[in-house]
Amino acid sequence: MVTTAPAPERVFGLHEVLRLLRLTPRRVAQLRRLALLHPEGASYRFRELVALRMGTALLEGGATVRQVREALAGARRRLPDGAEPLAELRLVLEGKRILVQEDAVRWDPRTGQALLDLPLDELERETRESLAWGRVRPLTPPGQSADGWFERASELDDEPERWEEAVEAYEHVLAVDPRYAAAWNNLGLLQHRMGHYDKAGRCYREALDADPACVQAAFNLGALQEDLGDLTSGVAWYRRALEMDPDYADAHFNLAGALGRSGRPEAAAVHWRRYLELDLGSSWTEIARAHLEEVAGGTEDDE
Q: What is the pLDDT of residues 106-147, one digit of tens each?
A: 777 777 677 654 343 443 444 344 333 333 333 344 346 888
CA distances from 227 to 12, 62, 79, 155, 196 (A): 26, 8, 31, 26, 11
CA atoms of 127 and 234, how far apart (whole Å): 29
Domains 137-212 and 228-303 share a fold: yes
Region 3-30 average pLDDT: 71
- 146 CA to centre of own chain: 29
Q: What is the pLDDT of residues 235-258, one digit of tens each?
A: 999 999 999 999 888 899 999 999
Partners of 114 in beta bridges: 107
- 235 CA to centre of own chain: 17
> Which pLDDT does position 75 carry in this prediction?
78
Domain boundaries, the chain: 11-110, 137-212, 228-303
Query: Does CATH place domain 137-212 in 2.40.50.140?
Result: no
Q: Are 75 and 109 in contact (CB under 8 A)?
A: yes
Taking Cα atoms as reference points, which of 285, 290, 234, 223 lies closest to residue 259? 234
Q: What is the pLDDT of residues 217-233, one digit of tens each?
A: 999 999 999 889 899 99
- CB burial class (10 A; 0-12, 13-18, 19+) of residue 131? exposed
**Residue-averaged pLDDT of the chain:** 78
Fold of 228-303: 1.25.40
Tell me the one-letter amino acid at 213: A
Residue 297 — very low, low, confident or very high, per pLDDT cuts 50/70/90? Answer: low
Q: Are 90 and 100 in contact (CB under 8 A)?
A: yes
